């Protein structure tokens, strides 16, 4: 398959465009779409399939649920993940429930496309990594692509899925470039990707933190430490088989997650490994997450809160028996 280098954001758009050309039931709408007559989406697909919505997330998501129930495959552009919080009834209590409650007779093929983790000085309300609160909702699938190729392949799969899919893109990755296959390209849900093979320690990371983990692995390699970096790519469904197989090989596990520690996907993975892979562990599991605090406006404080290469390297050294914990990786001390 031929490929070329394009940005993460272009890969997402390419997947949506290709699916809209392939299937006339695919719709695309959002609050800032099709606002001008020469809008390229509007020109390509027309006003019946690309529409601007009211400035109401409750209405926007509700329109998506209704369109999906009527036989369409809407992609709802939500921009910021936090915007879903005002429409949680549709996201959590409606869209994921109808298929089960109808005994499989009703399908809800809807994609909710939302950005997260915009920690470049945006302070408290548009910077959260809030995917953890959706990870346990039955019937709702959850995607966290970390590369342009994954972004394209997972979006195409999301659009074709007969269930509601929460497709969460990382804002700090939008302009990152990478090799992306041309033409039709799909990545199955529930299939983790080993971004780097290794033998000494397994590092499981999601989204933006995958790149921090890979950079940390490069630094560790210079000291003779071989880190295997695993990217789950989808959180629901979660490919625990690949993670457990990696831990069985390395005997050590470091989990990296931009979410706060007690709302992280890493905590779920740690619990699964503790239950199903405990015999493989040669050291305690280490989690490198954001601290349990709102993202501050100050850049030095923001960097202090978030996971980074140094914290990952330190966690790896700890599970290998070197170094001592510091505040960035330890449990908070009660006041």
Q: Which residues are catalytic?
A: 126
Q: Give the separation between CA 41 and CA 20, rounded to whole angstroms.
A: 10
Residue of 334, 257, 253 whose CA lies nearest to 291: 257
Contact criterion met (CB below 8 Å) for 182 and 233: no
Contact criterion met (CB below 8 Å) for 77 and 113: yes
The pair phi, psi for residue 319, each rounded to 5°, is -70, -20
Q: Give the separation between CA 249 and CA 194, rounded to whole angstroms.
A: 13
Q: Give the separation between CA 61 and CA 58, rounded to whole angstroms.
A: 6
Tell me whether residue 272 is exposed, middle or buried, using C-beta atoms within 10 angstroms of its C-beta: 0 to 12, 13 to 18, 19 or more: middle
The number of beta carbons lying within 10 Å of the beta carbon of residue 267 is: 19
Tell me whether residue 190 is exposed, middle or buried, using C-beta atoms within 10 angstroms of its C-beta: 0 to 12, 13 to 18, 19 or more: middle
Sorted by sequence, the CB contacts under 8 Å of residue 311 that are 6+ apart come out as 288, 328, 329
- Provide the β-strand partners of residue 194: 230
Tokens 């369109």 belong to which residue? 67
Note if the bond before 237 is cis, omega within 30 degrees. yes
């Amino acid at each position: 398959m031929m490929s070329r280098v394009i940005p993460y954001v272009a890969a997402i758009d390419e997947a949506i465009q290709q699916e809209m050309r392939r299937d006339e039931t695919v719709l695309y709408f959002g609050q800032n779409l099709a606002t001008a007559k020469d809008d390229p989406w509007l020109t390509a697909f027309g006003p019946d399939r690309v529409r601007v919505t009211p400035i109401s997330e409750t209405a926007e998501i509700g329109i998506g649920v209704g369109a999906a129930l009527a036989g369409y495959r809407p992609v709802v552009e939500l921009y910021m993940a936090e915007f879903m919080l005002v429409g949680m009834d549709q996201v959590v209590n409606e869209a994921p429930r109808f298929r089960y409650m109808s005994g499989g007779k009703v399908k809800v093929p809807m994609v909710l496309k939302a950005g997260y983790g915009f920690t470049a000085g945006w302070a408290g309300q548009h910077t959260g990594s809030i995917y953890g609160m959706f990870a346990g909702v039955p019937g709702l699938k959850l995607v966290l692509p970390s590369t342009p190729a994954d972004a394209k392949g997972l979006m195409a799969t999301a659009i074709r899925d007969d269930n509601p899919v929460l497709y969460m893109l990382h804002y700090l990755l939008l302009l990152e470039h990478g090799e992306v296959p041309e033409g039709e390209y799909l990545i199955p849900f529930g299939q983790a990707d080993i971004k780097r093979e290794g033998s000494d320690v397994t590092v499981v990371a999601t989204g933006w933190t995958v790149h921090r983990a890979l950079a940390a692995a490069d630094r560790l390699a210079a000291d003779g430490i071989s880190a295997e970096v695993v990217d789950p790519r989808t959180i629901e469904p979660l490919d625990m088989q690949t993670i457990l197989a990696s831990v069985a090989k390395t005997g050590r596990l470091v989990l990296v997650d931009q979410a706060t520690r007690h709302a992280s996907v890493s905590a779920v993975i740690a619990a699964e490994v503790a239950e199903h892979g405990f015999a493989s562990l040669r050291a305690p599991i280490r989690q490198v997450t954001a601290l349990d605090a709102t993202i501050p406006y100050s850049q030095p404080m923001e960097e202090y809160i978030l996971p980074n290469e140094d914290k990952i390297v330190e966690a790896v050294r700890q599970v290998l028996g070197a170094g001592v914990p510091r505040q960035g990786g330890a449990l908070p001390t009660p006041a």
